[in-house]
């Protein structure tokens, strides 16, 4: 049993001190995954990897009944938390209250990529993932781990408890399915 799994079990039993032990063990790995994901976002992104990790971590340990049984299960939950944060951020950017896609333009420079279209793309992907999850939850989880958490095929396979070959086939299928469902999306 790994240290992370041991600590996750202690958290599940209600050991408040174990929560303090978990973050140092997983922080750097989560931060690297968040940085990989955010590197795919357009220039001018206001959400930083550190903030994404902190928000995801707070969501993970801040509610009752999380019940992680392994390191892979924890990272699957972390990927889901990061996905939800990025989607909430995209919705916020798209809302009228926040300018509905209008962005400041520096008259001295060519304008940056359109945040509204990026937000729309993430929301469309979220809807398609919900549809895929109804048909095949494992493949939807694989996409979440790969696209939103930035895990490699090997890391995602380990987190899901499946073989590398099964993960490769699932990833190929999910990408093709999403391309048909949405049209081409960068990064998939």
| Number of domains into which the chain is organized | 1
Is residue 187 domain-resident? Answer: no
pTM to 2 decimal places: 0.51
Q: Is 174 helix (H, G, I), strand (E, B) or coil?
A: helix
Nearest to 123 by CA among 173, 88, 77, 175: 88
Is residue 160 domain-resident? Answer: yes
pLDDT at 138 (0 to 100): 93
Encode pLDDT of 50-78 as tens digits: 888 888 878 877 665 566 667 777 778 88
DSSP state of 84: H
Is residue 105 domain-resident? Answer: no
Is residue 66 domain-resident? Answer: yes
Is residue 104 domain-resident? Answer: no
Q: Which residues are within 8 A (CB) of 163 and not within 5 positions of it... i.e. 6 or more apart?
A: 157
Structural domain that includes position 144: 3-99+113-182
Is residue 155 domain-resident? Answer: yes
Q: Is 127 helix (H, G, I), strand (E, B) or coil?
A: helix
């Amino acid at each position: 049993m790994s240290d992370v799994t041991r600590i996750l079990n202690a958290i599940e039993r209600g050991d408040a001190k174990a929560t303090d032990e978990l973050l140092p063990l997983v922080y750097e790995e989560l931060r690297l995954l968040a940085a990989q994901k955010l590197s795919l976002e357009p220039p001018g992104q206001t959400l930083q990897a550190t903030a994404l990790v902190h928000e995801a971590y707070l969501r993970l340990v801040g509610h009752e009944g999380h019940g992680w049984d392994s390191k892979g299960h924890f990272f699957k939950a972390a990927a889901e938390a990061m996905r939800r944060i990025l989607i909430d951020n995209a919705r916020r950017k798209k809302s009228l209250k926040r300018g509905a896609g209008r962005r400041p333009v520096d008259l001295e420079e060519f304008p940056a990529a359109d945040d509204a279209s990026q937000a729309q793309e993430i929301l469309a992907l979220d809807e398609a993932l919900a549809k895929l999850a109804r048909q095949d939850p494992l493949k939807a989880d694989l996409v979440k781990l790969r696209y939103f958490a930035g895990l490699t095929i090997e890391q995602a396979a380990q987190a899901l408890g499946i073989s590398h070959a099964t993960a490769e086939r699932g990833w190929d299928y999910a990408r093709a399915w999403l391309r048909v469902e949405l049209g081409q999306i960068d990064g998939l």
